[in-house]
Amino acid sequence: MYLAFNIFQHIALFIILYHIHIYITLYTHYIKLYHTYIYIGLCVGGLYVGLGNTNLILDNVTFSYNRATSLGGAVYLNSINTEVQLLNSVFNSNAGGSGGSVYVDGSKDVSITTCSFSNNVAGVAHGGGLYVNGVENITITDVVFQNNTASTSGGAIYLGQLSTLIELSDVVIENNTAQSSGGGVYVDAKNTGLVLNTSSCTHNQAGGSGGCIYIGTSNSNIQFTHLTLHANTATDYGGVIYTDELNTNIELDTCVFSNNTATSGGGIYSSVDNQWAVSNSSFMSNYLQAESTTAVSISTGGAVYMGTMHSGTSIKDCDFSYNGVVLTTCDTSNTNSNSTSSTSDTCSSDVSHYDCGALYIGESSSDIHITRSKFNSNIATRVGGVACFVGVSNITIEHSSFDSNMQSSTSTSNGEDMGGGVFYFSSCGVATTTTTTTSTTGSGSETLTLSNNTFLNNYAGIKGSVVYSKDTYV
């Protein structure tokens, strides 16, 4: 059977005035809505479809100002073994409990192409614009998500369990807000392939972690390519990207991170047991913010925070500049060469500690490679103007340049180990240098090898304009 709706605007107006909703429960059918305007649906939203083995197409449909007290402010699709296509459609100013505009539960494939989701609200839980759960494959192409809000997670998009392939291409995610995590997108899907390419994620906010995207996946493969990631904010961790699950391989290539902010990991926060391959990307002016404006707090990793990483994590052909902390007062007149200072504190921010201006890698990571990258004008207050390596073994940094980076504070407290205009390395005891190479070796296999790098105009307020490691510094 073929069932099609071709409702012209004057007929739709009749539906508006009488608050009639489209409610469909069918089995083994094909359903298509074309050139339709659905406006001010109440209680159950604009459209509910409960299906069996059915294909659904919404093409050139506008859903505006619909409300649902529970799921799917404009559209609720409760389906099994179906294919859903949303094409050339507009979802504006709708509100639901979860899925402020669209809620899809239990379909085979979902494809959303050339649509816009704007000013939608998930007033109770997840997915301000779109909530998709229990779907095998999700493809979102040429879609704009703008000014959507979720009361918990996924300001624009929430992608739930059982997805095997998630692909977003040519997507604009802008000015979305989640009161909890995933200001733009929240992904909660195991054993998943996630691809995000040729897209922008800008001016999104998370009250928790992941200003642009929160990734809760394990045993997954993730690719980020050709992305613009600008002015996103997380109150907690990961101004742009937050990931906290296990055994995930993440490739990031040709991406631009700029003016993003978080308590730790202004650009990226990756907490446990993942392997990253970062290449051809820039991290510019990503900042740390204090957890509290009245008490001392510690913020770490201005551009990138990586906790326990799989062996083989790599960074190559990248640019890290102006990350870390913005200083309120600073006298760097003596930084025309790599230098240290023992004078009074001439560079300060506030009462908090901002560590590892560009990069933090720690907690039993091993075999880290950084190649052909630039680190310029990154700033930390206590330790590691550029990077901190804490509990890491076998780090190799080669063919890279370090210019005008700074560990700013000149005061110590509570006997803390502090310093490192460029590097802070927590586990080493001996440092030796030659013209082009520094190898800092501690107990066991812990080794920092610097080969064919250049260091110019770096500054440490305490010790070690280049490397500080416990009581050894260079």
Instruction: Please calculate the CA angle 138-141-142 and round it to the nearest 5 degrees.
Output: 155
What is the rounded CA–CA span in Å between residue 131 and residue 77?
A: 10
Q: Is 313 exposed, middle or buried (0-12, 13-18, 19+ CB in 10 A)?
A: buried
Backbone angles phi, psi at 136, to 5 degrees: -75, -50
Provide the 10 A C-beta neighbour count for residue 364. Answer: 12
> 16: number of CA atoms within 13 Å, CB side?
17
Provide the 10 A C-beta neighbour count for residue 326. Answer: 12
Closest CA to 445 of 313, 311, 355, 315: 311
pTM of the entire predicted model:
0.86
Alpha helix locations (H) across 185-240? none
Provide the 10 A C-beta neighbour count for residue 94. Answer: 33
List pLDDT tens digits, range 367-384.
Answer: 889 999 999 999 988 888
Closest CA to 278 of 212, 201, 359: 359
What is the rounded CA–CA span in Å between residue 71 and residue 10?
A: 28
Sequential DSSP letters for 380-421: ESSB-SSEEEES-EEEEEES-EEES-EE------TT---B-S
pLDDT of 19 reads 35
Phi-psi category of 110—alpha, beta or left, where left has phi over 0 and alpha has psi -120 to 50? beta
What are the DSSP E strand ranges found in 119-220?
121-122, 130-133, 137-141, 144-146, 149-150, 157-159, 165-169, 172-174, 177-178, 185-187, 193-202, 205-206, 213-215
pLDDT of 307 reads 83
What is the rounded CA–CA span in Å between residue 442 and residue 281?
A: 31
- The series of mean pLDDT values per 10 residues for the chain, 474 residues long, is 34 30 40 47 62 78 88 84 88 93 88 96 91 90 97 94 84 97 91 90 96 86 96 95 83 97 93 87 91 56 84 92 71 46 40 77 82 94 84 88 84 56 63 43 63 91 74 57
Asked if residue 214 lies in contact with residue 222, where contact means CB atoms within 8 angstroms, the answer is: no
pLDDT of 164 reads 77
Asked if residue 340 lies in contact with residue 465, where contact means CB atoms within 8 angstroms, the answer is: yes
pLDDT of 134 reads 85
Instruction: Please calculate the CA angle 54-56-62 and round it to the nearest 5 degrees.
Output: 160
Residue 161 DSSP label: T
- Non-local CB neighbours of 43 within 8 Å, separated by 6+ positions: 21, 67, 68, 69
Asked if residue 110 lies in contact with residue 81, where contact means CB atoms within 8 angstroms, the answer is: no
pLDDT of 205 reads 97
Length of the chain: 474
pLDDT of 79 reads 72
pLDDT of 408 reads 77
Asked if residue 154 lies in contact with residue 180, where contact means CB atoms within 8 angstroms, the answer is: no
What is the rounded CA–CA span in Å between residue 3 and residue 415?
A: 76
Asked if residue 257 lies in contact with residue 229, where contact means CB atoms within 8 angstroms, the answer is: yes
